[in-house]
Amino acid sequence: MIIRPTIVVLLAVVTTAIASPSRSRDRGLTFHANNAVPGYEFAQAPDGKALYEENCRKCHGVKGTPPKAIKEKFPKVQMLDDVFLAKVNDDSLVKIMTKGVGKAEDMKSFKDKMTPVEMAAVAKYIREFAKPKGSSTL
């Protein structure tokens, strides 16, 4: 019997076609795809912590306290603590990053490395160093 397998395959195809109302399924998928867009944009906001760690941590330390070796090399390196942060607003911090501080070998300008929006994200992250331990970061 050669005909039998052919019939089985045909039956399977017909059954699948009837059993799947593909239109409503497609609509479901489209709905999800549209919903994903705002989440995607949100994920693109600059990550102040990552930028700080890449550009500043080497000299200013993980939480704003410069490592000993850096203090020896740059005696004037600024401690980014609550006392200092009370004196500067976010705009000043962005200006400091844009212009650099002291001589070129001290703290150079970051204007070729970061956009103003990224610098503002770094400034926001630095603010958290001034908060008491255990307080919410939000």
Which positions touch ligand HEC (CB under 6 A)? 55-56, 58-60, 74, 76-78, 93, 96-97, 101-102, 106-107, 110, 122
Provide the minimum distance between the beta carbon of 90 and ligand HEC in the complex, in angstroms, as a whole number: 11
Provide the minimum distance between the beta carbon of 133 and ligand HEC in the complex, in angstroms, as a whole number: 21
CA atoms within 13 A on the CB side of 49: 5
DSSP-derived 3-state class of residue 107:
strand
Question: Residue 124 contacts by C-beta under 8 Å, 6 or more apart in sequence?
Answer: 48, 90
Q: Which is nearer to ligand HEC, 23 or 76 (CB)?
A: 76
Q: Which is nearer to ligand HEC, 9 or 117 (CB)?
A: 117
DSSP-assigned letters across all residues of 8-34: HHHHHHHHHHHH--HHHHHHHHHHHHH
Q: Which is nearer to ligand HEC, 96 or 130 (CB)?
A: 96
Provide the minimum distance between the beta carbon of 53 and ligand HEC in the complex, in angstroms, as a whole number: 10
Q: Quote the CA–CA distance of 88 and 99 in Å, as a whole number.
A: 15
Q: Which is nearer to ligand HEC, 12 or 117 (CB)?
A: 117
